[in-house]
Amino acid sequence: MMTESVSRPPANLSEFSIIARNASRQVKDQIQRFFEDAGIPSAGLVLWNYKKYFRVSAYALTTKQRQRITKAAKCSRLRGLCVQGKWLRPKDWFYKWQESYRKISVGKKFLIVPAWEKIGKTGGKRIPVVLDPRSAFGTGGHETTRLMIRMMESLEGKFTRFLDVGTGSGVLSVIASRLGAEEIHGFDYDAMSARIARENFVRNGCQGGRFFRANLGKVSGTGRFDLVGANMLSRTLLRYRKKLASLTCPGGFLVVSGISKRHFPDFRKQFPTDHLRLIRVLNGRSWSAALYRRNQNRPSYRG
């Protein structure tokens, strides 16, 4: 779990990076495919776009992973690009992500600002969301989070009670508050994430939030929330689909993200319950998100 990695970073973690200048879309895709073919899933890649430079980094924890990447690098057809590898000391590893964390625009309205940067001119009318994710997932830049935010923006004015399932850094709770939610509950089975989410919520001056450690399989609160958001592995979403439906109030909305685009057709067949109706799908480059609405007429339903 995340907390274990935080207190005991692996002693022999290595980083492999490819940096390209003025890279076309095709070259960017090729670089990502290189790592995917070498056994690093796209969710494990760190992408960095800054001015003219594009960098992709992958982290190998085992000798086998290291060998696969090294071997792939030897036969790589990425012309003019080389794979740079280095060992990371635990200290480097823990703070590594901060180097590539910059202000980012998300959705139509928001600007995510790392807590250690100045807000500055917020890109015109964008609303700043100040975050220090530390060990929690949720810098706001991951495609799965971006899709969630776009869905939430499209529901502005239609919800006041938001449930942030797997809150991570709390980014979605802050966004929900900015979109007008008055009562926000966020939970994560990682205790450290729940703490970090609370800190980020307070950091942004948001009110009406409650953050706690819990496993989705065990939470209660039937039919209470008019918007439930869950950005998680699709197998977790499928396993707890009835629970997610039961947490959503009749007539309320459920947004799910974290479903790989390739597997979305299967997910779509398996996910609905008798109580949920699919009303919108958003596709990103590699991920999909879906918006469901719970039926009006089944107030006594329990997941």
Ligand X SMILES: C[S@@+](CC[C@H](N)C(=O)[O-])C[C@H]1O[C@@H](n2cnc3c(N)ncnc32)[C@H](O)[C@@H]1O
Which residues are near ligand X by CB under 6 A? 136-138, 144-145, 148, 166-168, 171-172, 188-190, 193, 215-216, 231-232, 236, 258
**The pair of three-digit structure tokens given for residue 195, joined into one six-digit string:** 């703490």
* Residue number with CB closer to ligand X (183 or 190): 190
* Residue number with CB closer to ligand X (2 or 78): 2
Kindly tell me the burial class for residue 211, based on how many C-beta atoms sit within 10 Å of its own C-beta (0-12, 13-18, 19 or more). Answer: buried
Q: For residues 170 and 167, what is the distance between their CA atoms, to the nearest angstrom?
A: 5
Taking the complex as a whole, the smallest distance from the CB of residue 171 to ligand X amounts, in Å, to 5
Count of residues in the chain? 303
CB 115 within 8 A of CB 129: no
CB 169 within 8 A of CB 129: no
CB 145 within 8 A of CB 231: yes
Taking the complex as a whole, the smallest distance from the CB of residue 145 to ligand X amounts, in Å, to 4
Taking the complex as a whole, the smallest distance from the CB of residue 183 to ligand X amounts, in Å, to 18
* Residue number with CB closer to ligand X (72 or 106): 106
Of all residues in this chain, which one has the CB nearest to ligand X in the complex? 166
CB 230 within 8 A of CB 255: yes
Order of strands, sheet of 13-21, starting from the edge strand that comes earlier in the sequence: 46-50, 53-60, 13-21, 84-88
* Residue number with CB closer to ligand X (150 or 268): 150
* Residue number with CB closer to ligand X (14 or 193): 193
Taking the complex as a whole, the smallest distance from the CB of residue 189 to ligand X amounts, in Å, to 4
Taking the complex as a whole, the smallest distance from the CB of residue 258 to ligand X amounts, in Å, to 6
**Residue 114 β-bridge partners:** 131
Q: For residues 145 and 107, what is the distance between their CA atoms, to the nearest angstrom?
A: 10
* Residue number with CB closer to ligand X (23 or 136): 136
Taking the complex as a whole, the smallest distance from the CB of residue 238 to ligand X amounts, in Å, to 12
Q: For residues 27 and 166, what is the distance between their CA atoms, to the nearest angstrom?
A: 34
* Residue number with CB closer to ligand X (58 or 136): 136
Instruction: Tell me phi and psi for residue 208, to 5 degrees.
Output: 85, 20
**The pair of three-digit structure tokens given for residue 71, joined into one six-digit string:** 């071997």
Taking the complex as a whole, the smallest distance from the CB of residue 197 to ligand X amounts, in Å, to 8
Taking the complex as a whole, the smallest distance from the CB of residue 227 to ligand X amounts, in Å, to 13
Q: Are strands 183-188 and 209-213 parallel, antiparallel or unpaired?
A: parallel
* Residue number with CB closer to ligand X (1 or 11): 1
**Residue 241 β-bridge partners:** none
| Residue keyed to tokens 């202000």 | 103
Q: What is the three-class DSSP state of 54?
A: strand
